[in-house]
Chain A
Amino acid sequence: MKSAQTWLMSGNQAIARGAYEAGVTVATSYPGTPCTEILESIARHPGIEALWSTNEKVAYEVALGASFAGARAMVSMKHVGLNVAADPLFSSVYTGVNGGLVVVVGDDPSAASSQNEQDSRHYARAAKLPMLEPSDSQEARDLVLAAFELSERFDTPVLVRLTTRICHSKTLVRVGDPPEPRTPTGFIRDFDKYVLLPRQAILRHRALEARVEALAQYAEAADWNRVEWRDLRVGVITSGLAYQYVREAFPHLSVLKLGQSWPLPAQKIREFAAQVDEVWVIEELDPFLEEQIKALGIPVASEGWIPRVGELTPERILHSVEQRAPQPMQLGDPSIPGRAPRICAGCQYLGVYTAISRIGVRVAGDIGCYTLGSLEPWNAIDSVVCMGAGIGTALGMEKALGDRVRGKLLAVIGDSTLLHSGLGPLLDLVHNRGQTTVLVMDNSTTAMTGLQGNPANGQTALGQSGPGVNLEKLIAALGIEWVRVINPYDLAESEEVLREALDHPGPAVVISRAPCLLLKRRETVQQAHLTEEACTGCGECFQVGCVAIERQELAGRPAPLINHDLCVGCTLCVQACPEGALQPRRLVPDLVELETCLTPAQPR
């Protein structure tokens, strides 16, 4: 069957399609914006083992194992996930592959949903594996197919680098045919290749250096590095989405579009540079290409012009080039207040953070929806670094300050993050005689990225369900004797148990357990109502931080105005009010649908 179909696809969907057409057998990932949708999309294709792994390192290793077994395998993750997977990444470049192995990484310029703005292209050079960079969805699909060929031809994993705008932009894609069935060869024992003992490591390193030379040679003729001749006064060298911006901003200039950002086709670059009066290098984030091009002895006229912070747009490039200086990052009109993300009305976190802010402790946070507890009105989180960092940093503070922080240190971590990379630190806390209290926020899902399955809820990417891990038993097995589960909707209990845990000599774990509100559309059976005469304007209810609690003025005093489109009747504000001015009132029979306030951006 010859299909010449054209579909409108996001970069993520196109990657998934490319992997499907390439005959991928195993695909793995850990959810993370901007790449989450790749695995979700792959899971909808027939005949592929799609796996949500516990973390990116595991995801990488599972894909590598599949490759060792002769299957084509793909692993995808966000930029910071590649840091987690860096260990197997570097060494798998030594072992090489059997079936093709493609590693997709999504960078996040402007850090729209991330803790940093790293440029993952540096990994290609550091670990010495080829990197391809698509500039739209069509190339995402095409280059994934090319990456599998490259991987098998050169016996190496291949990186494919995306950025948020590629992942989430939809452009037209000519798709190819479904794959021919492939049968993995099976694992073929090869001691010197797959067992990286010191002697083998040196042997493999030697082979690797030769491979890099061959890859650079191959890049000279590869069709993904292409020259577009136009006006010869300026030649722009660019890659990824920056190529599209350059075409938009300078439609008349000659361009060398590098589909491969490492290793570079040195000869091709030299020839291009020789034909133009001056060379500009325009790329998003770090001067990765620019530095390599300068190292070839080619002067780069645009040096210092291109912004290094925040994502580019065609206008920003134009302006920076005109001014010969980077234009600072701009979003909307700064005089109009933005809308910071908020915790959902009635979420368990409201109760927990209200309790924490009442106690007043130093809190080392972690990454998930609960990171929002660092904002007003709770200001409950004092540090957020990376996945799983909270427990370790809290222990470090404890070791540095000893008695000064005894009973005043709390690490907060979600269930999915705990399983991702929090168990090691928790064990460390026990082993090194720490006394830090750990609060596990168990909402039975990976909520921030759109409700993926994880080992705690027992849901897999392919829709299998099971009991999931028992967190209490798991934590107890690490040697923590003091473990308590709280109902986060009971404010007094939460506060009391947390105080007890903090006072406990030795490590203590509190599990706050209630399902994420997005998991099930539940009926709202009651809502909070204000008795105006009883309200003294003390403001305690505002400290709950619920989006459904707006402000009004009553007799010159601030008073809550409950937004009944949003209130789900969790009663946290009712418990917080010392005057009994807020009371739950049952809703009959006209039930308010929770969905009105909770609408995920992506159709599910």
Chain B
Amino acid sequence: MSAENGSDGFVTFESVQKSYDGETLVVKDLNLSIARGEFLTMLGPSGSGKTTCLMMLAGFETATHGDIRLGGVSINNIPPHKRGIGMVFQNYALFPHMTVAENLSFPLEVRKLDKSEREQKVMRALDMVQMGEFGGRRPAQLSGGQQQRIALARALVFEPELVLMDEPLGALDKQLREHMQFEITKLAHDLGITTVYVTHDQTEALTMSDRVAVFNDGVIQQLAPPDELYEQPTSSFVAQFIGENNALHGEVQSIDGDVAVIKLNSGDLIDAKPVNVSNVGDKTMVSIRPERVEFNMSRLAEGSHTLKAEVLEFVYMGDTFRTRLRVADNDDFIVKTRNAPDQVRLKPGSTVDIGWMPSDCRALDA
């Protein structure tokens, strides 16, 4: 299901720009291609332009520049109601004056389906989200999670090929969220629909998606499958935004193929994989995930650089230990270790040596 950027995607954004006020670009040169059947998530901080992209795709905002294509056809001039795109809104937008069944039958009525066919499809859609008995209720008589399901069923009942969801789970509590995450992905994959999903919850993005587009400031910072995004961030923004990250600042001292030696601001030397540094002397931020830090020096390669670290805090979290260290003037260096029988529990105040595989430590832009 991996799709390459190209013009053969089901949904294509081609150098799309958007400005609301004619002064600032909210979306700057967006290029994105989504394959048929793919589950793509747009992830990013508030105000980064995710909703704007979705609205342009749905037809409620017009692109200031560029081309948006659906199934190879440019849809810039097609009004929203002719695009045939299902949409789930953040506040669900279930029509309060209609019953659940009427809500679901609305898209079928405007498509002039006859009554028996409508009823059959509504029933099928309700069963699909396990809400078969609730057809006669008003939206106000449903819980948040139930409304969510109905909104989902309504977006799917007319069998669109593309479904857009703008933070559909934002209003739900954690447990329900996780349950719905699972159901939405399952439904999307079972029905084979293409889904564009907007969230600013990174866990949601990582667990649900085939690919994630990380937005910042109107630009896609990285577009990759979840594992790649987490393990191989290509910019300091993505490294910081996705998951927990330890950042150390320094300068490139030497580069030798896949390994660069970085001189930290504290003067310590470390090994890292050069990702977007190319020259000696470049300022860099190196990123190490908390679970990739090694205490056992014997696992490291001969001649690896190591650092002295002072233990500041030790937190027992059940399945893991979380230790806060002072490393190279950074007081907030977190290490996560698995709770295994042989795992040492570090005492606050003690000093340890730490190190890492150069491949786990990425030298990114400063």
Partners in one complex: no
Interfacial residues, chain A to chain B (CB-CB below 8 A):
none
Interfacial residues, chain B to chain A (CB-CB below 8 A):
none
